Amino acid sequence: MLPLHDGLVLGVLLLNFFVLGTSRLSSGIRSTALQGAALAALPAVLHPVWSFHKVLLVLGTLAVKSILIPTFLLRAIREASIRREVEPHVGFVGSLLLGALAVAVAFTVARRLPVASSESELLVAASIATVTIGLLVIVTRRKAINQVIGYVLLENGIYLYGLTQSDRVPFLVELGVLLDVFVGVFVMGIVLFDINREFDSLDSARLVHLRER
């Protein structure tokens, strides 16, 4: 039977592919919310001994990654009246193939790294794959909100790697990363609203046509 922590990591990887393969922005946002819930559960599953640090980390991760950021992004697409990514720079099938290649490379690299255990090797591989797929979403999507989703995936990958170092990293550093992500998405959302109101578009390709007056 598959251990629970392995199942959660596998779920994180599968949700990466769902983001790559869907054109609906709301589906991509909800996928990141589910991914956030899996990431929140991982510290408790990996280290069953509870502490104030762990409780704070689990609750903070769940609140920011699974509730606050997805809620804010869903509000953003409602306000901007956009629903789908119609013409990405790389098609959805091509994106899925690139994502599969990223996962294969990630597991190959993780096996060559000096990790402490098989659990750490799986986390490192998943973190490399998630960071790479996040960058892939940022580069291949036109809609700015999809690029924000890619940024969230990228940070989720960094968070996964941080779990391999959780005994060495103070909780303030981990919570600081979560706060940085929330503030970054909040600021980007404000900018997106302003762009949509002024130029009636959230297509990042059109931003290159802006000039100072």
The per-residue pLDDT string of the chain (213 residues; one tens digit each, 9 = 90 and over) reads 678 888 999 999 999 999 999 999 999 999 999 999 999 898 888 877 777 777 887 888 888 889 888 888 888 788 777 788 878 889 899 999 999 999 999 999 988 887 655 567 788 999 999 999 999 999 999 887 888 888 889 888 888 888 877 666 555 446 655 665 666 666 566 556 655 554 455 565 655 555 544
Contact 134, 150 (CB under 8 A): yes
The total number of structural domains that make up the chain: 1
Q: Give the chain's end-to-end CA distance (angstroms, integer).
A: 64
Please give the DSSP secondary-structure letter assigned to residue 208.
Answer: G
pTM: 0.83
From residue 145, give the alpha-carbon distance in Å to each of 9, 59, 149, 181, 205: 25, 25, 6, 14, 13
* Residue 187 belongs to domain spanning: 4-209
